[in-house]
Structure 1
């Protein structure tokens, strides 16, 4: 089973943590202060009550009459006080009552089992002070919680912004923009673990760029070194006498030459030095003529056409590679659809392999377990690279299977070329659109 994951931002996690800690501290301190103040006031009330009783005792010794609200042998005297009186000790006692305001007792033994006692409600002024103290503690605790929450939002917001900038910069690096530096994107005056993460990502990017550049140079150098002998081999094959062995040699030599040229093209595309030579063309008519020239049997459907500013040679290269891939690995019929700036190429074969759908085209990976397994995996790689030069987007998916037919994992491969509304300039950048000044 999939575990339920609750996604929250760092800002709210930090603010909730600070608010929770602040609430616990505030509640604990409030309870301590409340109990300490209550105990102090009750102790003071007991001392006052005892002083009153001692003064009333002196009057009783003189007049033999209880004064100031004192009582002799009060039947309501608490049991704990009776026990103290039996021991011959004067004492005070706080009795909690249902109304919530306690009674403060004081008692003193007079001899012969007689007890003089005095009790009153806890002073109204003390009760008011306790209520005011509780109100102040509640307000202070709420202020601490809200202040901690606000502080957590500020601290967490700063950290969250830095992490989002780092993630956005890392995403641009992953898309191939190797000039982006995560450390510069994070910025800020305060240095923390985010800067360490940025430095680590930048170091990783530099290491990967160096490795990719080294691999590209090696690939290009090998292809350049192979071009001359392969050309010589192809020329020598043309001089061989006619026959089946000669045809096999020419065929293999031509395949090797095509592979070398494809590898060189991939190396040029990886170097990001290719620039588009733009022309304005009618996309529907252009695709129809090029597809018909490549394979007249392929159906071209133009839903509605559009004028686009693109490089015809590179667009033709993309179409040729997509159609060659469909013919080699897919199944008939192959259909091409033009809808505005979108070109779709669909076959009716087993579909693209899962690795290609998940990671995109990769050189020398053909997905032999899912498709026919012929070729070197360079066709779609070159098509994707040429699409990047055009500023276009090339996506791959599998068509939904037809339930009325035999149950197949896929009902054909679909490659979709999305041409941009604003094509890149010959320098590789995109033009800046200037809006008309408001009148």
Structure 2
């Protein structure tokens, strides 16, 4: 049953249907206004009808009393529409009159009211007056009903307009808050949600904005504390690790010495990578910009690093970037492909786009979904050794360059996701000029 109820909602989500807050609020106000208007219209209509019938009944009583006095004096009612012993007189009124009482009543016949008034006279006869609802009263009720309908429609439309106005203002504030929260989530720590929504009236939206700002500040403080701890630990380890490497180089040649040197170099590389990650996380790195020919630059750097890697320049271009950081990104991508993928490794340069492809099992799904993460070395699909810092550093350096680094797996055309990948592709999208709003400040040499 739950699946049946959820399926229409999911179909609406897949179709892209979205109902804004302003329309929900407008519909709610219009519904309430309509119910109130209908209720009040019915109450007013019934009250007006009852009042008119009471007035008509009182008038009939006055007329029958005048006719009674005339009949007692002249043996004639001397009043129009007065009948003596009318056979159409309702039995209930006749019984009351025969008991010596004056009686009147309103009887509906198919929605048309009949007004009766009866009174006994001295000789035992019964005087009665039978009138209907006047055309004027009917016209008044029709005009009243028309006015109530128009008023109800006006109330519903006014309520809808008020709902759109109020809901639109609230929706705008919430959208601004959501946009500011997304900016904070992207790392723009100087953005304040409360300042983004603006306004002088304090409501629940302000409380939510202040709560989000407080949460962002707390998370930022914790992240900064963790970064400082990581940087401090790596900095403190640099000196003893350097001493350990120096001491290992003084050991006599042999297999044990090679093992110690290998582990000491790996530890030094790890410490340097952790320090680099800490610097990149602090958003204080500066790009030193130079004009380079991208295809020529990539060809020379890749040939110096690994001549077995194939480089293909589809379209040469000149751009302004930091060559050292670009080389760091490129070498880390090639190293990751060599460590986790399979040859051949191919590097393609097309304009300001660099693609690094291997022919291994592809990137793990968590990396494709969440991006590089430090100390995550792969999965069962793309197993290997390392500390998971290579792609993290590549992504951080790309951010300093104002570039965008994406990852995807290569599959046959039309193949489903469960089909094994035929390789992994890392794509670096370089801008023409390194921007100044990446958290770092490009500095011309």
- TM-score normalized with structure 2 length: 0.87
Q: In the alignment, does 2:58 pair up with 1:44? A: no
Task: Describe how 1:340-359 pairs up with structure 2 within 5 A.
Answer: 340-359=351-370
User: Cα gap change, 1:326/1:94 in structure 2, threshold over 3 Å: closer, same or farther?
Assistant: same
State the shift of 1:172 in Å: 0.8
Task: Describe how 1:245-394 pairs up with structure 2 within 5 A.
Answer: 245-394=256-405
8 Å Cα contact 2:68-2:77 kept in structure 1? no
8 Å Cα contact 2:337-2:345 kept in structure 1? yes
Identify the residue that residue 228 of structure 1 maps to in structure 2.
239
CA distance in 2, matches of 1:340, 1:254: 37
4+ long deviations beyond 6 Å: 402-407
Secondary structure at the counterpart of residue 394 of structure 1: strand
Secondary structure at the counterpart of residue 129 of structure 2: strand
State the shift of 1:269 in Å: 0.4
State the shift of 1:231 in Å: 1.9
Q: Which deviates the most, 265-274 or 280-289?
A: 280-289
State the shift of 1:354 in Å: 2.4
Identify the residue that residue 93 of structure 2 maps to in structure 1.
81
**Structure 1 counterpart of 2:83, from 63, 71, 76:** 71
**Could you list the runs of 5+ residues in structure 2 that have no partner in the other structure?**
13-17
State the shift of 1:111 in Å: 7.3
User: Cα gap change, 1:156/1:402 in structure 2, threshold over 3 Å: closer, same or farther?
Assistant: closer
8 Å Cα contact 2:374-2:392 kept in structure 1? yes
Q: Which deviates the most, 160-169 or 231-240?
A: 231-240
8 Å Cα contact 2:286-2:441 kept in structure 1? no
Secondary structure at the counterpart of residue 103 of structure 1: strand
- 1:320-357 CA distance string (max 9 Å, x none): 11111111112333333333322222223222222222
CA distance in 2, matches of 1:306, 1:223: 39
CA distance in 2, matches of 1:107, 1:405: 92
State the shift of 1:173 in Å: 0.9
Q: In the alignment, does 2:179 pair up with 1:168? A: yes
Secondary structure at the counterpart of residue 362 of structure 2: coil
CA distance in 1, matches of 2:341, 2:50: 88
User: Cα gap change, 1:405/1:349 in structure 2, threshold over 3 Å: closer, same or farther?
Assistant: farther
Q: In the alignment, does 2:169 pair up with 1:141? A: no
Q: Which deviates the most, 252-261 or 274-283?
A: 274-283
Secondary structure at the counterpart of residue 220 of structure 1: helix
- 1:165-189 CA distance string (max 9 Å, x none): 2211111111111111222222211
**Could you list the runs of 5+ residues in structure 1 that have no partner in the other structure?**
432-439
* CA RMSD after TM alignment: 2.8
Aligned length: 430
